[in-house]
Amino acid sequence: MSKIPVIIDCDPGVDDSFAIALANSYSGFDIVAITAVEGNVPAVLTRKNALCLCDTLGLNATVGFGAEKPLVRPYFRDASVTHGESGVGTVQFKNPIKTPDSRPAWELIYDEAVKYNGELVLVAIGPLTNIATALRRHPDLPKYIKKFYIMGGGTFGNVTATGAKAEFNIWVDPLAAKEVFEKMEVYMVGLNATHSAAITEEDFDEMISLCGNDPKSNLIKELSKFSKFNSLENGQDNHIIHDALAIASLMNEDVVDFEDYFVWVEDNEEADNVGETVIDFNGQSGKPANCHVAMKVNQPLFVQMMKNMCKFYNENNITIN
Ligand code: BDR
Ligand code: CA
């Protein structure tokens, strides 16, 4: 079976790092590129983390630098409380060895999509600024994309500024998300799905143990420890490895059940639900479905995939660069 060419657009990010690591452990993917966007931490850090993740994971993908701020909205909040000051928890990456591609993320995505002639799968696990920019510059991009997955949105939110009506990735750049939903057929792995895939303390302990006892720091082990302890200490949701579920749903179609609905994004800054992905469950809009919404999750299967990934990296002895 030939490998699926994949581009991951991301804002690493602890759960983005898990997602990239999970994708890298799967022999069915050819990870063509990793593109970085502003989000969990400012672009300067998501860029560095994207390069260092490739160095550490031995991932031979092209890295593209993308947007430093949303399309029009200021970039006024990062998520370093959840992801640590560096964006990757307690991991301290050195300076990257890998260098970025000369093209901006949106040109790299378009060029690869054309090159793969309709076979490329695009997975966006950060704010949608890079994807919206690619679509503005290349309106024919959708015809070259086989499938487009996001981690974002869902039936509820996690941004307290909006009364938790908006999910973080959509809320960082609501205009970008609105444009993307209008132009692309989206597989939306949102918060309702990722919260159903929460990883328990015991499962994190098993993941940590499966990473092995090599004295050298192990990326997955450090990320797992951070996720477990941070969630316990702060009573936060980051024992949910949101972004990895989007990757897992692509690796194995038994992980997530999707249902088709019309979905639009509220981008009006004055609206109290700015950044919400509004799902037309009852068909009131009369508009055709444009989105496959993740509704049911096989949590045990997802957890098993995460554990298998830990074993993979233990066997391959991955050391943090
Ligand atoms: C999403 O927001 C980010 O903090 C995570 O990386 C994930 O992509 C969850 O709302
Ligand atoms: Ca993310």
SS (H, E, C) 133-198: HHHHHCCCHHHHEEEEEEECCCCCCCCHHHCCCCCHHHHHCHHHHHHHHHHCCEEEECHHHHHHCC
| pLDDT score for 214 | 62
| pLDDT score for 40 | 95
Q: Is 88 in the pocket of ligand 1 (CB under 6 A)?
A: no
The tens-digit pLDDT sequence of the chain (321 residues) is 699 999 999 999 999 999 999 999 999 999 999 999 999 999 999 999 999 999 999 999 999 999 999 999 999 777 787 888 899 999 989 999 999 999 999 999 999 999 999 999 999 999 999 999 999 999 999 999 999 999 999 999 999 888 999 999 999 999 999 999 999 999 999 999 999 999 998 999 999 999 987 644 589 999 999 998 877 776 665 589 999 999 999 999 999 999 999 999 999 999 999 999 999 999 999 999 999 999 999 999 999 999 999 999 888 766 666
| pLDDT score for 236 | 61
71: Cβ contacts below 8 Å, ≥ 6 apart:
129, 132, 133, 173, 175, 176, 179
Q: How far apart, in whole angstroms, are the C-alpha atoms of residue 105 and residue 122?
A: 12
Angle 304-308-311 (CA atoms, 0-180°, nearest 5)?
A: 140
Give the mean pLDDT of the chain.
Answer: 93
| pLDDT score for 81 | 79
Ligand 1: which atom is nearest the Cα of residue 11?
Answer: 6
Q: How far apart, in whole angstroms, are the C-alpha atoms of residue 41 and residue 34?
A: 16
For 285-294, the pLDDT digits (tens) are: 999 999 999 9
Kindly name the residue from 83, 138, 239, 242 that is annotated as catalytic: 242
Judge whether 83 counts as a catalytic residue: no
Q: Is 168 in the pocket of ligand 1 (CB under 6 A)?
A: yes
| pLDDT score for 187 | 98
Alpha helix positions (H), 85-141: 105-115, 129-137
| pLDDT score for 161 | 87
DSSP state of 89: T
Could you tell which of 41, 165, 168 is best to mutate to test the pocket of ligand 1, judged by most ligand atoms within 8 Å of the CB? Answer: 168
Could you tell which of 169, 237, 238, 239 is best to mutate to test the pocket of ligand 1, judged by most ligand atoms within 8 Å of the CB? Answer: 169
Q: Are 242 and 15 in contact (CB under 8 A)?
A: yes
Ligand 1 centroid to 169 CA: how many Å?
A: 6
Q: Is 169 in the pocket of ligand 1 (CB under 6 A)?
A: yes
Q: Which ligand is nearest to the CA of 167?
A: 1
Helix, strand or coil, per DSSP, at residue 84? coil
| pLDDT score for 84 | 87
Q: Which ligand is nearest to the CA of 192?
A: 1
Q: Is 151 in the pocket of ligand 1 (CB under 6 A)?
A: yes
Q: What are phi and psi of 4, to 5 degrees?
A: -85, 120
